[in-house]
């Protein structure tokens, strides 16, 4: 039965550290779809038909991509499995151009958050959170999951975040002081909740809460952009941290390599490719690269 092969594949991939929550559900659906057509091995026509049930071309490409990866695994033991062609094109999505804040915009954003809402706890919660995101490059999900025990003298311990990785994020003394001020202010509101950032409900913040507070602050300082321009989001603070870090990258091939690897580790990227993406996604960085290349080829120093 194809279902058994799918479960074997998922078990092996998960043992390697992949969660495969969505992919697991899709592949089980594909196995049931195939078995209903009395196809107990991967059949290209059936795979394309099943993937084609998705609404958009992008979704069809991703569904078929999951089957193709499963088919490669299954064919290693049983060549009766066919390897479907990528009939819907590449499953890779184009990443949108990130919004990059200026230093002055970040200061205004944090200030606006400190003045939004009618309760002092809410104001201090979001102004501290946005400042922390800006100076550390944390993902929003990582920041709102922080607990008291994750704050150490050496920095913040980010536990089993994306890609099941844990890492230590060093903090500047000013950031450490900002968190300590917030905790002193927040303690009377929720003394028995061990999450660092809490809402007025005395519960951990939710992603949608952060998004709402962020957009309120963005509107207050007038950062609206047209439909064709990058849209500021809480994740833009992480983008900004990465870009500013790359702008400070030292010259020299070996030093650049070490800088990129260190930044990739600091950000918790699963692959350094995700860090290099910023070089091509941000016009200012591309312009700097072009200028250095031109200088190199005309005899100047790179």
130-155 b/e with 16+ CB inside 10 Å = b?
A: bbbbbbbbbbbebbbbbeeebbeeeb
How many alpha carbons lie under 13 Å from residue 157 in its C-beta half-sphere? 9
Q: Which of 235, 244, 259, 292 is catalytic?
A: 235
Q: Which of 99, 126, 182, 278 is catalytic?
A: 278
Going by the DSSP 8-state scheme, the letter that residue 270 receives in this structure is S
Does residue 276 have an active-site annotation? Answer: no
Q: Catalytic annotation on 195? A: no
Of the candidates 147, 152, 161, which has an alpha carbon nearest to the alpha carbon of residue 193?
Answer: 147
Distances (CA, A) of 106 to 135, 182, 248: 10, 19, 18
| Token pair for 23 | 């992919």
Q: Are 295 and 289 in contact (CB under 8 A)?
A: no
- Catalytic residue status for 164: no
Q: Annotated catalytic residue: which of 81, 123, 139, 239?
A: 139
Tell me which residue has tokens 């990258």: 249
Q: Any catalytic annotation for residue 139?
A: yes
Q: Is position 62 annotated as part of the catalytic site?
A: no
Q: Name, in order, each residue with C-beta under 8 angstroms of 97's C-beta and a sequence gap of 6 or more.
A: 230, 281, 282
DSSP-based three-state secondary structure for 272: helix
Q: Which of 62, 238, 239, 266 is catalytic?
A: 238
Q: Is 185 a catalytic residue?
A: no
In the chain, what are the helix, strand and coil shares in percent, each to the nearest 5? 60, 5, 35
The single residue of 37, 72, 119, 162 carrying the catalytic annotation is 162
Q: From 59, 60, 65, 66, select the one nearest 28 (Cα to Cα).
A: 66
Could you tell me if 88 and 61 are in contact, meaning their C-beta atoms sit under 8 angstroms apart?
Answer: yes
Residues annotated as catalytic are: 139, 162, 235, 238, 269, 278
């Amino acid at each position: 039965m194809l279902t058994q092969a799918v479960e074997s594949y998922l078990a092996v991939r998960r043992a390697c550290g992949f969660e495969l929550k969505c992919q697991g559900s899709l592949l089980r659906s594909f196995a049931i779809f195939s078995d209903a057509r009395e196809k107990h091995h991967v059949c290209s026509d059936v795979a394309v038909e099943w993937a084609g049930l998705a609404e958009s071309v992008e979704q069809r490409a991703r569904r078929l991509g999951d089957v193709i990866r499963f088919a490669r695994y299954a064919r290693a033991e049983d060549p009766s499995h066919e390897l479907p062609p990528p009939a819907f094109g590449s499953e890779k999505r184009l990443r949108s151009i990130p919004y990059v804040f200026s230093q002055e915009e970040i200061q205004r954003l944090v200030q606006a958050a400190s003045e939004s809402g009618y309760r002092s706890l809410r104001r201090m919660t979001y102004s501290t959170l946005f400042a922390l995101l800006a100076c550390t490059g944390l993902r929003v999900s990582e920041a709102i999951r922080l607990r008291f025990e994750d704050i150490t003298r050496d920095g913040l311990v980010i536990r089993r975040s994306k890609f099941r990785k844990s890492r230590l994020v060093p903090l500047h003394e000013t950031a450490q002081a900002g968190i300590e001020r917030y905790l002193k202010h927040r303690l009377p509101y929720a003394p028995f909740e061990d999450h660092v950032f809490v809402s007025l409900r005395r519960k951990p913040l939710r992603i949608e809460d952060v998004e709402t507070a962020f957009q309120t602050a963005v509107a207050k300082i007038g950062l609206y952009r047209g439909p064709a321009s990058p849209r500021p989001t809480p994740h833009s603070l992480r983008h900004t941290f990465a870009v500013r870090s790359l702008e400070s990258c030292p010259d020299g091939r070996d030093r650049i390599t070490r800088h990129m690897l260190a930044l990739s580790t600091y950000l918790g990227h699963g692959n350094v490719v995700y860090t290099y993406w910023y070089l091509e996604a941000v016009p200012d960085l591309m312009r700097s690269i072009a200028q250095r290349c031109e200088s190199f080829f005309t005899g100047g120093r790179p």
